[in-house]
Amino acid sequence: MHGSDEVAHLVDRHPQVTPERLIAQLVPPPTFADVSFDTYLPDPAEPTQAAAVQACLRFCDEAVARRAGKKKLFGRREVLPGVGLYLDGGFGVGKTHLLASTYFRLPEPKAFATFGELTQLAGVFGFTECIELLDDYVVVCIDEFELDDPGNTTLISRLLSALVERGVSIAATSNTLPEQLGEGRFAAQDFLREINTLASIFTTVRIDGPDYRHRDLPAAPEPLSDEEVAARAARTPGATLDDFDALCDHLATMHPSRYLTLIEGVKAVFITGVHRIDDQNVALRLVSLTDRLYDAGIPVTASGEKLDTIFSEEMLAGGFRKKYLRAISRLLALSREPTPS
């Protein structure tokens, strides 16, 4: 069901992403464009939050010092290896806020990427060229660091190790401690060396606290009817309207790195016929789209089943549990956003 012909559809968009565009995208998402350490408000009941701010500030000072190198005779400088900071914690404790604040505090050149964008960058440019592209950077910030397959584990481990050797510092966020990356997702013991190499790069800082997106917020909203969703889409400027299954099929036709371009310029997303997903690949693509929608602050309105029931119990018990829970948290936050009038 497409609904009104006047309303645009995501399934009609076929975005292409150039290498130049990929590099230009290496900045914090719009949601975090104006954050700083001053706008992060630590929960007084959670001392690890204030401690994390101090850890980030120390990391920034150290990253600048490492990039400057050590003076040797005749005015030459010796390259010092970069440092690593790993912000670990649950959903909604402000990890991305702190990571973006770290990015903004440090001088150019610098990069901010999701884990998926980083693997895509290496895929487009090639491993050696990717190192050359980033080897004079002060910092590479990686949001939602996740190792979902052996190929990515090896690739990212070697890429980051090479960058650190060249004086680049690495800051990352995740819901999983470095030595547990990949657990329950593939034969982690086969790649223990790579995972341990990654863990040795980082100083881990734990951030505790409840999900701020759920503080004093109601449960998932009751879904609207298909007709109501279509009607709201028709009267919302810049909206898109799509059938859930058709949208999921469309997402499969492109690499997730294109999802940002897919939703470019969209003001609100309307989806009909939402239902539970049992296919892991479909679910992971939906997680990627949700992350891009959340980063851009684009509200979501849906019909069908409740948004917090999209992922099956079996999926929520599996290796990607944290990814799915994050996506639910973000979808619920987006479903409460007021749609533009």
Q: Where are the domains of the chain?
A: 10-16+215-335, 44-209
Whole-prediction pTM value?
0.72
pLDDT at 188: 46
Low-confidence stretches of the chain (pLDDT < 50) are 1-4, 182-188, 191, 216-217
Q: What is the pLDDT of residues 236-281, one digit of tens each?
A: 999 999 999 999 999 999 888 788 889 999 999 999 999 999 898 8
pLDDT at position 90: 74
Q: At a CB cut-off of 8 Å and minimum separation 6, what does 15 contact?
A: 254, 258, 261, 262, 264
CA distances from 47 to 41, 42, 213, 283, 331 (A): 12, 8, 19, 35, 28
Cβ–Cβ < 8 Å for 41, 212: no
Specify the pLDDT at position 218.
Answer: 56
Can you tell me the distance from the alpha carbon of 336 to that of 338, in angstroms, rounded to the nearest whole number?
Answer: 6
Q: Amino acid identity, residue 70? A: K
How much is the pLDDT for 19? 76
Q: What per-residue confidence (pLDDT) applies to 254?
A: 87
What superfamily in CATH does domain 44-209 come from? P-loop containing nucleotide triphosphate hydrolases (3.40.50.300)
Q: What is the pLDDT of residue 175?
A: 59
CB atoms within 10 A of CB 108: 8
Amino acid letter, 288:
S
How far apart (Å, rounded) are the C-alpha atoms in residues 163 and 197?
13
Name residues whose C-beta falls within 8 Å of residue 19's C-beta, 6 or more positions apart in sequence. 124, 125
Query: What's the rounded Cα separation, in Å, for the pair 117 and 80?
Result: 27
Q: How far apart are CA 294 and CA 9, in angstroms?
A: 19
Q: Are 257 and 22 a contacting pair, CB within 8 Å?
A: yes
Neighbours of 75 (CB within 10 A): 6
pLDDT score for 89: 81
